[in-house]
Amino acid sequence: GDSNNTLKAVASFPIGASINPQLLASNARYKAVLQENYNSISTENCAKMNRIQPKAGQFIWTDTDALVNFAKQSNMKVHGHTLIWHVAVPDWVTNFQGDSLAWEKLMKTHIQTVVGRYKGKIKSWDVVNEAFEDDGTYRKSVWYQHLGSDYVARCFQYAHEADPEALLFYNEFVNGRPKKQAAVLALLNDLKKRNIPINGIGVQMHITINTPEASILSEIRQYANTGLLVHLSELDIRMNPTLSKTFVVTDALKSAHALKYKTVAQIYRSVVTSGQQFGITNWNLGDADSYLRTANTCEDHPLLFDETYNRKLSYYGFIQGLSE
Ligand code: G3I
């Protein structure tokens, strides 16, 4: 490829991808395309609690260490995803019996062991992921049930104690859910008011070619207005929003897809001040790696690179949005 015309070369902020250490170790092209285009990686799954502490007190560092070492050699930064998330709860935690003090200790130990191990190496973290339901109420996760809603604030405090230099994010999926958006903004403002150490908001951006530009704009603007860092943390754009089983990619769909990538980049650059631009991260590298391929049972092509990591029209659309 042309090194003057890569994602990281044209962008004025970090460009990341969520990465799978097995693919990185086994596929030379995956590695080369990642190094050519990106200067940040997010840990897609390997730092989640169910992977990194699958049994009580038994921490498995291998995969996250591999990503940290790769990033160091490749001059990239690592964004840690994610310390506390209701989906990534290992069985031993689901089945844990204890009073609220014991739950607090379990949560604190997890956060501080993981953040502490990567102190100075993983310089930013999604501390809490997706704490709210669509209706704006707190999810009834094990953390909420045993510790109440203020567990979120304490997660940030524990992470900050373990690495005072790390940038700490609340990460959420909102698009088109106004009650959830309001709850997230209220949380962010409350944490700031109380001087809880939060640095940024992760805006996931799992969207589709049909997601209205106005809704993307208003969501990002509201986050930018908090003054926090804004990370588009999990960008992918579905081409097959209706999950059609007979989906066929057409030139018109490819153009719409490229245009939406361009629009997202332009909105980010126009609405988020340069001091708040933490970066944009794609959720996976090539279409074959997308979580949508396994999560949904239909075809989709949500990313910038095809199955063998060739640049798609969407790649050039995103480049335009990052540079024009
Ligand atoms: O690796 C195992 C494999 O050994 C096993 O045979 C197979 C059978 O189910 O499962 C494989 O693990 C799966 C893993 O992805 C790797 O493919 C898990 O079941 C599956 O749950 C896991 O899905 C991940 C999902 O989060 C849940 O943790 C996706 O890869 C990951 O992209 C997705 O990412 C989330 C973010 O963390 C938060 N925001 C939404 C985003 C998309 O759902």
> Which residues of 44-123 form beta strands (DSSP E)?
77-85
Average pLDDT over residues 208-230: 97
Domain ranges of the chain: 3-311
Of 294, 296, 297, the residue with max ligand 1 atoms within 8 A of its CB, to mutate for a pocket test, comes to 294
Q: How does 146-180 read in b/e, with b if 16+ C-beta sit within 10 Å?
A: bbeeebbbbbbbbbbebbeebbbbbbbbbbebeeb
Report in angstroms the alpha-carbon separations of 265 from 7, 270, 273, 314.
11, 9, 13, 12
Q: How far is the CA of 45 from the centre of ligand 1 (A)?
A: 7
Give me the active site residues, please. Answer: 130, 234
User: For a substitution probing ligand 1, which of 45, 85, 206 has the most ligand atoms within 8 Å of its CB?
Assistant: 45
User: Could you tell me if the CB of 291 is within 6 A of ligand 1?
Assistant: yes
**DSSP at 214:** H
Contacts of 179 (CB under 8 A, 6+ apart): 134, 135, 136
Q: For 3-311, which CATH superfamily applies?
A: Glycosidases (3.20.20.80)
Å from CA of 87 to ligand 1 middle: 10
Does ligand 1 come within 6 angstroms of the Cβ of 44?
A: yes
- pLDDT, one tens digit per residue, over 50-98 is 999 999 999 999 999 999 999 999 999 999 999 999 999 999 999 999 9
| pTM listed for this prediction | 0.97
- Average pLDDT, stretch 13-28? 98
Place of tokens 């207005």: 225
Residue 252: C-alpha distances to residues 213, 255, 256 (Å): 18, 5, 6
In the predicted model, is pLDDT for residue 243 greater than 90? Answer: no
Provide the token pair at 317: 């659309």
pLDDT digits (tens, 9 = 90+) for 283-297: 999 999 999 987 777
Residues 131 and 172: their CA atoms lie apart, in Å, by: 8
Q: Supply the ipTM of this predicted assembly.
A: 0.96
